[in-house]
Structure 1
């Protein structure tokens, strides 16, 4: 029977991912079978989890998914010794309006699955106040149970002693304290961590994090705090329809933001996926019946994409007879032009009239609920799709037929409607699930 834990924190940037990876690798080094999950819509962290554990990780999201879907996804951990769910942002951070089964907060997953929470606390610039924060998180919601804390970025032994004494007075267990250690810092860029597949030394970095955490954290105590868990039989799984039988999927450093659970659901439904690299100037498989361009970092490779004649010509030829869909960065590449951060305008594939710019950056972030006004691969007009949008591009033009009426999590209509022209469609949000 697996033992379940949630790794969370009071805020982003405290060290959740590093601790999750370190615990997973340290326990794996001890011969334990470890399964990770990511709570929330972050599509980068699961790839790091997979490197640390040797097992695929997926997202679970209470705003976009119902309880049955979440239980079906986490059931993959039934054969593991330890199951770790890494949270997003702070423990209780979600949206103001409830979604399918919650607000998207990590606390929703902890309560739903009955897994206790290990908090990562960064007491930089604090001492006893760190205990007040931990106690407030412990007492905020009755259904969420705090197992204990790991202190991160401790400045000195005296600093650690002050914080430990305060936490002990509050009745909160301290599993360990990590001094500052630059060697295990994960590199970042504007949409989060630099992706695992782009870091040749990621395995060594995780090994060093595991060694460091094992030296300073009581791994046995953390493991004992986990709750024995066996998954409930899900009445049904995730509601996902493949966009086609044979799917040509763009996959490289510019097109890598795709939810693992989506690909698994497509394959489970009988779809076949063939990958191609636009950055390597490859065209989609001519035998496929649909092409899908996920998001990623096309803005970092815009000049190369613009110059890749075989890719652009092959994609346009494909779209003459079969559907092509792009999400976020993929949507931008389906457009007419993309202006990079230096103000240089690059010609894209021209399947849609969309023009975007990174010269003046503006963050777009949040859950999206889209009611399709036109068909897109796998979904008919009227379908209600749940997804998440995160990018810094500015729309200069979006002249084509709107694909959907799109609302944010508060119910407000937003301008990023997506587009349709001929066989090409695109959205700024990444699809997570379809409402039943």
Structure 2
């Protein structure tokens, strides 16, 4: 299958402005009448929703640590019908884990190479001029299979600063695709897990339109489109199959993090996804075969969830006869209690014994490989699963039977095993794929 041509937007590290560049490019090309397919390299939970808002097409994660070649191809095929692919990298271009997973180490460089996409590097040139060319040249030559299409200079202080920086790039043989003057308003609101969710942005569409206009003025859009290439997807694969036929899926500001390729796979296989909002005190559909609570920010809505009697009653009723599963925030919401950062204790659904606290913060971040000690929805006992964990909560009590033996990407045992009690299961990691 021939995919549309694509590029990958990356950077030397986080905080360089690549997300705002990504959103501006998506919207600018969409305004020009192109069907633009966004992707996100790596396990990011938040950026795909911003991509959707900018491009009007669902964005999908491509993860070379967690996904084998067949699944990467299946996810890549979601670009069918698009005119152009724009993917956003995670962290720095070459940042990943120490040991290879299913196909790689989870770097954005691996994604670009696997999909045949040239890289556009966003460089924050604050505090330097010609020296920025040495950074660009290093990224261009660090691997001989990386195709660096060029750089976008960000946070340029003045015309003189731009001229000096361009001189360095010219000497290094690096093409400058754009130069963005420093602007304090070109940032997205953040909280402790990174960006706020797209649904929480006070005026997201206007912000993205502003990014697009800014990039039109300062970036060579025609050159970026001309640089886009790709390679045929030589393998066919399928997206993950659904864990049940009728899935009641919690969906609101408290529960929003499910990998898009999972939901797309469930729908493609004919599953019915029945959204409900715990924050609106909605019970899951009584005819659902499974209730699934994704991750999100339940710690910001503890009192609302504790007082959502209809939701809790419906959830408990379902668990008497059919399975319930929660991931990360959803797992916490299935527990006995959640303590917010101010130290307030909120009673949760009580289907598991888990008690978690944000008052005692502990950072948990990284890939997870889990071997199930017991079955969970859609996955039999003994199955290996690959996922990613990202939260700041501390476990105070986790009294139920461990659901899985969990290790990180380097093989070290992780104490967050998840839990199982009756028909209820939960994990701190977000599922990406079944592992061979």
Aligned alpha-carbon RMSD (Å): 1.2
Structure 2 residue matching 1:274: 3-state secondary structure: strand
Map of 2:415 onto structure 1: 415
Matched ranges for 1:97-176 at <5 A: 97-176=99-178
Shift of 1:101: 0.9
CA contact (8 A) 2:28 2:213 kept: yes
CA contact (8 A) 1:131 1:170 kept: yes
The 2-side partners of 1:304 and 1:178 are apart by 43
Which is worse superposed, 186-195 or 421-430?
186-195
The 2-side partners of 1:258 and 1:130 are apart by 38
Map of 1:338 onto structure 2: 338
Matched ranges for 1:175-214 at <5 A: 175-214=177-216
Cα distance change, pair 379–152 in 1 and its aligned pair in 2 (3 A): same
Matched ranges for 1:210-359 at <5 A: 210-227=212-229, 229=230, 231-238=232-239, 240-359=240-359
Map of 1:400 onto structure 2: 400
Per-residue CA deviations over 1:360-380 (Å, capped at 9, x if unaligned) read 211100000000001111111
Matched, 1:27 2:43: no
Which is worse superposed, 424-433 or 11-20?
11-20
CA contact (8 A) 2:388 2:430 kept: yes
Shift of 1:233: 4.6
TM-score by length of 1: 0.97
The count of corresponding residues between Structure 1 and Structure 2 is 434
The 2-side partners of 1:429 and 1:252 are apart by 19
Q: Please, which runs of 5 or more residues in structure 2 have no aligned partner?
A: none
The 2-side partners of 1:200 and 1:126 are apart by 34
CA contact (8 A) 2:336 2:354 kept: yes
CA contact (8 A) 1:418 1:427 kept: yes
Q: Please, which runs of 5 or more residues in structure 1 have no aligned partner?
A: none
The 1-side partners of 2:158 and 2:202 are apart by 33
Shift of 1:189: 1.2
CA contact (8 A) 2:341 2:358 kept: yes
Among 57, 60, 65, which residue is 2:59 paired with? 57
Map of 1:361 onto structure 2: 361
Structure 2 residue matching 1:371: 3-state secondary structure: strand
CA contact (8 A) 2:177 2:224 kept: yes
Structure 1 residue matching 2:413: 3-state secondary structure: coil
TM-score by length of 2: 0.97
